[in-house]
Structure 1
Amino acid sequence: MSAAPKGPDEADEGQCDSGIESLRSLPKEDPDGERADSSYGSSSLTEPPWPWPRDPDPEPPAPDAPGLGLQQLEALTYISEDGDTLVHLAVIHEAPAVLLCCLALLPQEVLDIQNNLYQTALHLAVHLDQPDAVRALVLKGASRVLQDRHGDTALHVACQRQHLDCARCLLEGQPEEGRGSLHSLDLQLQNWQGLACLHIATLQRNQRLMELLLQNGAEIDAQEGTSGKTALHLAVETQERGLVQFLLLAGARVDARMLNGCTPLHLAAGRGLGSISSTLCEAGADSLLRNVEDETPQDLAEDPLALLPFDDLKISGKPLRCAD
C-alpha cells in the first residue's frame, strides 16, 4: 500500500539544514514541541531559553533580547540534526561576525551546548585553530572543562593539535564579569585514555607547550591513568634527550615510580638508551631501585657497569671509562 502524499504544509522528516545562510528556511516549531539535541551537556535547553506561545493566536510575550523578533530568536536557538547550534556553525564556517552577534545576544548556557560528538563551539574553535574565536568564547564564559566523546577538553585538543596560540588563550584568558565559568580550568583533568594535557604535550615532543602548561600550574609529576607514568617517563619513551633534560631542570622527580615500580631509568636502561640513562644518572637516579618484578635498572641495562654510581672504578689498576 503506497504512502499517502504529503500535504503542502508538511515538512520532509529527512530534511536537514546546517548552513548559516539558510536560516530563513528553518521550521518554526517541531510538532511535538521538542528540539533535536543529542548532547548530554545541553539538557537545560530541552525547551527554548526564551518562552514563546504554542498557540499562534495570543499576543506573544516580549522577548528578553530587545529588538529581536520571534523568528530571530528561534534562529539563534536553532539546533541541527548533528546537534550543532548557530554558535557551532559560525565557528565551522569561519564567520566571525555571526559568532560575535551570537555571543552578544545569547546567554552563557547556550555556549556550552555539546553536539552529537559532545563538542562545544570552543572545542571546534581550537580544532580549527581559531585563537580569536577561542578568546571571544572564553571572554563570554564558555566552559573550558567540558569533555568531548574522547574525554578531551578544549585544552587537550590544543595540545594534540599543537595549537600554541589557542592553548595560550585557554590558559590565560579570563571571562568578563558576570560570565564566569562554574568550574575553573583543571590542568590535571585526564581524558578517557588517562592523559592530562602535560602528558599529551610531552608525547607530541612540544617543549613550548610543556613550558606553557607548567607555567600555568600543571603538575609535573602527575601520573597518567593507565600505568602511572609521569611526563618524565613519557619523555624517556620519546627518546628525546632534550625533553628529559628540560623536565629534570623544571623539577621533575627523577625516581618517580610507575604502578609497576619502574622509574624513568628502568625504561631508559631497558631500551638501551645510553645517553638518556647517563642524563638520569647525572641527575641522581638510583640504579639499584627494584620494580615489582624485583629488577633494578642495572638488571635491565645492556652494560650494567654504565649505570654504576661510581666514577673511580679500576680494573688491574686502570680506570674504567663508561661510554656515554
Structure 2
Amino acid sequence: MASGDYKKDDRMDDNRTDSGIDSYRSVSKDAEDDDDDDGVGGGGGVSCRKGADGKCGGADERLDSAYDSASLTEDGLLERVEDGLLGRVEDCRISTAADYNDEPAATGTTPPAPPGLDEQEEHFLTTITEDGDTILHLAIIHEDEHFAHQLIQWFPKDVLDIQNNLYQTPLHLATYLSLPSTVQSLVEKGASLEPQDRDGNTPLHVACQHGWIDCAASMTWGVSPGKLTPVLETQNWKGLACLHVATVNGHHQLVKLLVKKGADLNIQEGTSGKTALHLAVERHDVSLVVLLLQQQSADVDAAMFNGCTPLHLAVGRQDATIAHLLCQADADKMVRNTENETPLDLADGNDDILALFPFDDIQISGRSVVGMKF
C-alpha cells in the first residue's frame, strides 16, 4: 500500500476514546494542573499536522508506511486482546533475522507475523487504528508492559518508529508515562531517538520536560556520541534543545545527565539566542547557575541575539547573588549589548550590585583613574 493512503480525516467523533497523549505541555503550572490524567484519553485534544487537503500528513511527514491503514478503533483492537490473542503471541518463539532470510521488512510492506497466527490475527497485529496507533502504541498507553515487551521483541526495527496522528512513536508514549523498562527495551531493539512529535519534541525532550531521569538515562545509556549528538542539538518548534527544556523546568539531575552525555552548554535557543546559563539566570536558580559555571566549557559571556550576557540579565533583574557569582567567574562587566548598554548601566541604583563594579574602567587622557594621584 502506498504511503499516501495513510492520511487520516481530521474529523473525529466526540465520544471516541483518544489514544494519544498530549505533547509537550506548557511549562506553566496552570497547564499541568488542568491536565491531571497526563493526556491519556479525553477525545477532544487529538490533533495532527494538516496538509493542503485538510487532512493529516502522510508518509512524507509521519513514519507509518510499514502498516496497513484501517478504520479500526482502539476498543476494537483491545477486544481482540481480551479474546486471547495475547496468549497466542506470548506462546510464539521470538523471531530472528534468520527466520526472514536476513532481510528486514521493506518500507511499505507488512512485517512478517510470528509463527502460529492465522491470517486474521496477522492482520490485527499489522493494522493501525484511526488514531494512527499500532497495537504497540496501545499496549504502552494502557501500561501493559508485559505485552509491550513481547511486541517489541517481535516487531522489526523500522516498525518501532511508526508515528500516530500526534506524531508520537511508542518511545514518546513510554517516556510520557514514565516506563523506563519499556524505554530501555525500545532503544535496545533499535528505536530511534530522533522522531519529533507535533510540537517538535523528541522522546528526550519529553523526559526533560517532565523530569523523568530514569527514562532519560535508559534511552541514552550505551548510545554512541555520534547518534546522541544530533538528538541533543535538535530544537523543538519553540526553539528549545533538551538542555534548555531541562533548565527551564529546573530539573538539575537531568541537566547533569545531559552535560555528562556531551550536551553543548552554549547552544542557543532559537527565539532569542539564550543559552542554558541565561535561562538559569532568568529563573533566579542559584544552584543551577553554580552547576553550569562549574563546567569549563560554559561561556560566562555568551551573548543573546540582542547582545545581552547572563550578567546583563542578572543585573537587569536586580539579582545581586547571581550577579556576584558571574563576576566571580570573570564575567565581562563592561560588555555592551545592541542597545549600547553595559551591565552597570542596568544596575538602577542597586547598591549591592553597584558594589560589584570597581569603576576601574574610567580613564582620563587614556590613563586609568584607579591609582592616579591628583
Q: How does 1:306-317 map onto structure 2 within 5 Å?
A: 306-309=355-358
TM-fit CA distance, 1:78: 1.8
Amino acid at match of 1:167: A
For residue 292 of structure 2, what is the aligned residue in structure 1? Answer: 247
Cα 1:265–1:190, aligned 2, differ >3 Å: closer, same or farther?
A: same
Distance 1:103 1:46, change over 3 A: closer
Partner residue of 2:158?
A: 109
Measure how far apart 1:286 and its partner are.
1.0
Inter-CA distance 121–173: structure 2 relative to 1 (3 Å threshold): farther
TM-score, reference length from structure 2:
0.66
Kindly state the Cα deviation for residue 107 of structure 1 after the two structures are TM-superposed: 1.2
Q: CA RMSD in A?
A: 3.0
Matched with 1:279 is 325
Cα distance in 2 for residues equivalent to 1:183 and 1:198: 13
Contact 2:229 2:263 in 1 (8 A): no
Residue 182 of structure 1 and its aligned partner are, at CA, apart by 8.5
Hey, what's the Cα distance between the residues in 1 that align with 2:228 and 2:331? Answer: 38
Deviations 1:182-228 (A, max 9, x none): 98752111100010111111111121110000000100111111100
CA deviations over 1:207-251 (Å, ceiling 9, x no partner): 111000000010011111110000000010010111111100112
Residues 287 and 307 in structure 1, CA contact (< 8 A), matched pair in contact too: no
Structure 1 gap ranges (5+): 1-12, 20-35, 51-62, 176-180, 312-324
Contact 2:68 2:127 in 1 (8 A): no
Q: Classify 1:98/1:38 alpha carbon distance in 2 versus 1 (closer, same or farther; 3 Å).
A: farther
Contact residue 176 and residue 207 of structure 2 kept, 8 A: yes
Q: Is the 8 A contact 1:38 1:115 kept in 2?
A: no
Match of residue 260 from structure 1: 306
Aligned residue in 2 for 1:45: 66
Specify the alignment match of 1:143 in structure 2: 192
The offset of 1:102, in angstroms, is: 1.2
The answer to whether the Cα contact below 8 Å between 1:37 and 1:79 also exists between their aligned partners in 2 is no
Moved over 4 A (4+): 13-19, 36-39, 46-50, 181-185
- 1:43 deviates by 4.6
**Aligned equivalent of 2:270:** 225
Q: CA deviation at 1:154?
A: 0.2
**1:301 aligns with one of 313, 333, 347:** 347
Structure 1 79/281 Cα, relative in aligned 2: closer, same or farther at 3 Å? same
Secondary structure, counterpart of 1:220 in structure 2: coil
For the Cα contact (< 8 Å) 2:220–2:228, is it kept in 1? no
Q: Give the residue type in structure 2 aligned to 1:74.
A: H
Helix, strand or coil: the match of 1:44? coil
Q: Give the whole-Å Cα distance in 2 for the aligned partners of 1:172 and 1:91.
A: 21
Unaligned runs of 5+ in 2: 1-11, 20-55, 70-104, 107-111, 361-374
Counterpart residue number, 2:135: 86
Q: Following the alignment from structure 1 to structure 2, what is the Cα–Cα distance between the partners of residues 287 and 47?
A: 62
SS of residue paired to 2:282: helix
Aligned-pair CA distance for 1:105: 2.0
TM-score by length of structure 1 reads: 0.75
Residue of structure 2 equivalent to 1:55: none
Which structure's relative contact order is higher, taking Cα pairs within 8 Å and 6+ residues apart? 2
Q: Report if aligned partners of 1:38, 1:116 keep a CA contact under 8 Å in 2.
A: no
C-alpha separation in 2, matches of 1:108 and 1:182: 16
Summarize the alignment of residues 13-24 of structure 1 with structure 2, pairs less than 5 Å apart: none
Higher Rg: 1
Deviation at 1:47, TM superposition (A): 4.8
Q: Verify: 1:118 aligned to 2:167, yes or no.
A: yes
Per-residue CA distance 1:1-33 (angstroms, 9 max, x = gap): xxxxxxxxxxxx9897999xxxxxxxxxxxxxx
Describe the superposition over 1:283-322 as per-residue Cα deviations: whole angstroms up to 9, x where unpaired: 10111100000000000013363231479xxxxxxxxxxx
Per-residue CA deviation, residues 50-70 of structure 1 (Å, 9 max, x unaligned), is: 9xxxxxxxxxxxx56433321
How many angstroms does 1:100 deviate by? 1.9
Deviates more, 1:37-46 or 1:129-138: 37-46
Which residue does 1:3 correspond to in 2? none
Contact residue 119 and residue 148 of structure 1 kept, 8 A: yes
Aligned equivalent of 1:208: 253
Write the distance in 2 (CA, Å) between the matches of 1:100 and 1:67: 19
1:269–1:301 contact (8 Å) kept in structure 2? yes
Aligned equivalents of 2:17, 2:257: Cα separation in 1: 40
SS of the aligned residue for 1:299 comes to helix
Letter in 1 for 2:268: Q
Q: Is the CA contact (8 Å cut-off) linking 2:68 and 2:128 kept in structure 1?
A: no
d(CA) in 2 for partners of 1:257 and 1:152?
A: 25
Distance 2:228 2:287 in 1: 35
Helix, strand or coil: the match of 1:186?
helix
